[in-house]
A and B are shown apart, each in its own frame.
Chain A
Amino acid sequence: MQTDSCNDPTDILQEALNADGGEHVELRFHSKRTRSIAVEKGRVDQARLAEHAGVGVRVQSGGAHGFASTSALEVGAIREALDNARSAARASARKDSVGIGDLPPAELARGVFEEAGCHELERRPIEESLEWVLAMEARTRAASKSIQSAVCRYSEVFEEKGIVTSDGAKAWTRLVRPEFATSAVASKDGDIQRGARSVGATGAWDCLFRRADAEQFSEEAASMAVNLLRAGQVAGGRKRVLLSPSLVGLLTHEAIGHTVEADFVAAGSCAQGRIGEQVASELVTLCDSGASEYLPGAGGTLAVDDEGILAGRTEIIRAGVLNSYLHDRRSAAEFGVTPTGNARAWEYDDAPLIRMRNTYIEPGTSSLEEMIAETADGLMLDGPKNGQADANGEFMFGTLQAWPIVNGKRGDLLRGTNISGTAFDVLRSVSAVGKDFEWDLGSGHCGKGQPMKVDAGGPWVACEVLVGGQV
């Protein structure tokens, strides 16, 4: 199979589609081509081209789902995979099975959907990217004598999908997701500190470097590592904090987004049975969207989900009231609602799961300066590390940097820490929402059995959380 930029595969899928009476079939061609470069301390650790392409087949038959795949975009191979998926579904069905039931009505996608940037990045030779990454890494390492090592990574993932379903979806989508990350390790007197900046987008470099260019990211990573060497520790306890757009993104993704994924709701998450309830401050409207709202190029952007549904915008919380969960077609049928276009699969040989796309808090009216001035005793936090949410809504995430705020004035840099809280309690504590919006979680992946590219963001937000630190 030729996996360079390919022709519309949906006619082949349509020809292979062979549904028995009463069963629902989804055929999804998915080609992923990756170009990635990683340089550390002047040495090329990774100069890589990767292709992974094929057709995933999911069949709903006899009250169960079966899945199989083939690496060949050929009618015969797809039909063979279809037989395997059908056999798997039938092996799973029980005589007493009540079945999945009819799928709910949905806005099925038909046509060609192409995000900007594919052609522009395809034209850029990888040799140029390699030279550029080497230069960026050298620049980061040269920023200070305290820097011991620097890493610079750049990748581009070109994705093409063709989706055909037995109930009428027929869509071809194309997009590219570039990602840039740089980090520096500084040391002094046996102390080692790390600074890091990263960015990911859907689109070309105008989206990737919209907020800052690569040189600026490199300088910020280096200065962060050096400045953290002389930074003090945060004092732990419950505090009022100002969260940066990247941390608001982590909050919306980890603390809220996962708990409203319908599969997690059905299992008993803290969001179960709370639609219509006031769960947050009236200042909070929280959404998940397949589009890149407010600013172009968010890293989780997609026009069509992996069940062939148009990926629209879902208001999860509207003015503090829980309004919707995130659904695939099956969960929508179980909950009696319309699918929200959240079914996503990592690669062709993965079956779709309910996943977020671009998750965010809508901007409010406060400026950052006003929010700092209104804080008598608190912290300003920036720089996301990892995060995790629990079924009971308890979440944690790590921050790279912190600054104390005392009597409305920002103090000197402190080392990052971890913060925790209970999702809806923290959202109820929101006392101000900034007016300047950023997407800032487009690098890295969300993990839920399969990795997934998502993005998240919002404006600066003031709220109350538990801060880890010295006691």
Chain B
Amino acid sequence: MAHSTQASEVRFDGQAAQEDQSSHAEALMRAALNAGAGEAEAVAQGSQIISVRFEGEELKLTSADFGSALGLRVLHDRRMGFASTNQVGTEARERTAQGALGLAKCSPADPANVLPDCHPVTRDVQACDDALSDMPVEAVVGRARDLVARTLAVDPRLRLDSCEVVLRRGAGAVHSSAGVEASASSTSMSLSLFGMAVDGDDVGGFDYWGGHALDVPSFELLAEESITHFSRAALGNLNAQASESYTGPVLFSPSAFMDVFIQPLVSAASAIAVQRGRSSLAGKLGQVIAADMLNVTDDPTDRGLMGLCAFDREGVPTQPFDVINQGVLQAYLYNGYAAAVDGVSSTGHASGGARSVPGLGAHGLCVGAGQGGRSADMLKHLDRGLLVGRFSGSVDPASGDFSGVAKSSRWVEAGAVVRPVRETLFGGNLFDLLPQLLQLSSEAESVMGSARAPWALVDGLSVTAG
């Protein structure tokens, strides 16, 4: 990792950092092959992270840290072993190679244990910003102080449990014996606000908001949006009252819609879930699984989302990928292993970091907007019932059953919010309910930098009030 050693004088050179990580990955891959491995894939990641954490109005901790991770997947006669380390020396490299190879030799053979072929990465995401590359610790502290002050100035009843601003600068590389050589570097600044409002003896439910930005102007916009969202939600949670039990339509915020419906739905579209018999979407390619207004795309080119990337964990190039189009299931998501099981090509959905075997997942899910108007119009479509701001519960992606508590949620009458609610549970089955999607709002919003989704009105839920 290219960096100076004094935290207050940190400078980041993305190109040099990429070259460093490439050389680490290459050396680790060579160590595995020299140890006798048939095939090897090495991932190297290095980061500089400056984080500033406030608790309440008090600056609790400033951290300026440099970290690295090396991961090695070894395939030997179609047997797989994996090892990782945070040490970059020769001795650690050899120990890691021996460890992964030893594990591979005692694992059973699996014909799908192959490394993905090399496909050139032609897209450069250009995720290094000069201002963020040069930003010193003091500037990050200053932005955090400003964020806390502006948030608490909104209303004296607001309390911050924590506020964090994190500047991340890093690079990563993948090298494999199948010819993959991919590397990238990035800078970003993220924030999070977590807290509640307190009015005398009334303690409101907590809420949180945040996201990440690739440059300073975007961070400023994010800060403004986050303060507005957090303060509105936290203050709105004061004086919560009982709601009502019923079966019928519920209005979901973009965040709750993602958590209850879309994330589990896309998990069920994982090829491994299908292959292993734990997906309700098995055999449903090309079939209608939701109302025709639903479109879901995985978009690794969206610069507003944290999943921005040019290649996946295995070095396979990524591109926008349709999962649901007009309610019809378009495709399953594949990493290299799942692709080998089905005899197809990876869709570039290998996920995870250097410290574990590649997983399978989406990069940046985007749900297409509908024609339901703005969020206020969606209240009118609901007319009377529950608006769920945040979901605290569990979803089983295999069965689609979900159940949880409606947090930061409101009771709606005559198309308008009349009170915040407390102790309100709701549940259903997402596969049964997606065809009962009644409306999507006309704009998709960022969900804390991880996804984009509109507001959604869904019929048929069971709501239990305390």
Contacts and interface: CB of A to CB of B under 8 A. Distances in A.
B65 A69 contact: yes
A424 to B, nearest CB: 12
Interface stretch (A48-56, A161-169, A174-182, A369-377): A48-56
Contact of B425 (A1, A49, A236): A236
A127 B65 contact: no
B103 interface: yes
Interface in B378-429: 392-394, 396, 398-401, 403-405, 407, 422-423, 425-427
Given A148-B278, A266-B56, A418-B427, A238 B63 contact: no
A52 B354 CA distance: 12
B357 A48 contact: yes
Contact of A468 (B8, B206, B240, B426): B426
A385 interface: yes
B134 to A, nearest CB: 15
Given A49-B100, A270-B203, A471 B463 contact: yes
B20 to A, nearest CB: 15
B70 to A, nearest CB: 10
B276 A41 contact: yes
B398 A3 contact: no
A422 B8 contact: no
B450 interface: no
A49 B103 contact: yes
Interface in B196-226: 196, 198, 203-206
Contact of A396 (B52, B100, B405): B405
A282 interface: no
A293 to B, nearest CB: 29
Contact of B80 (A44, A54, A191, A388): A44
B82 A149 contact: no
A47 B80 contact: yes
Among B50, B62, B112, B392, the most chain A Cβ lie within 10 Å of the Cβ of B62
Given A65-B62, A148-B277, A268-B203, A236 B396 contact: no
Interface residues of A, number: 84
A418 B84 contact: no
Contact of A388 (B88, B100, B392): B392
A63 to B, nearest CB: 9
Contacts of A1: 87, 92
Given A67-B61, A267-B56, A390-B407, 13 more contacts: A41-B277, A49-B99, A149-B278, A191-B399, A268-B198, A386-B393, A392-B240, A418-B404, A420-B466, A466-B464, A469-B403, A471-B247, A471-B462
Interface of A: 1-3, 40-41, 43-54, 58, 64-69, 71, 80, 83-85, 87-89, 91-92, 126-127, 130, 134, 148-149, 185, 187, 190-194, 236-238, 263-264, 266-270, 272, 349, 351, 385-386, 388, 390-394, 396, 398, 415, 417-422, 449, 466-471
29 contacts: A41-B276, A41-B277, A44-B80, A44-B107, A48-B357, A49-B103, A52-B85, A68-B64, A69-B67, A71-B68, A71-B88, A84-B6, A85-B7, A87-B6, A88-B62, A88-B63, A88-B137, A126-B103, A130-B103, A191-B399, A236-B425, A264-B161, A267-B55, A267-B160, A268-B196, A351-B61, A417-B427, A421-B466, A469-B403
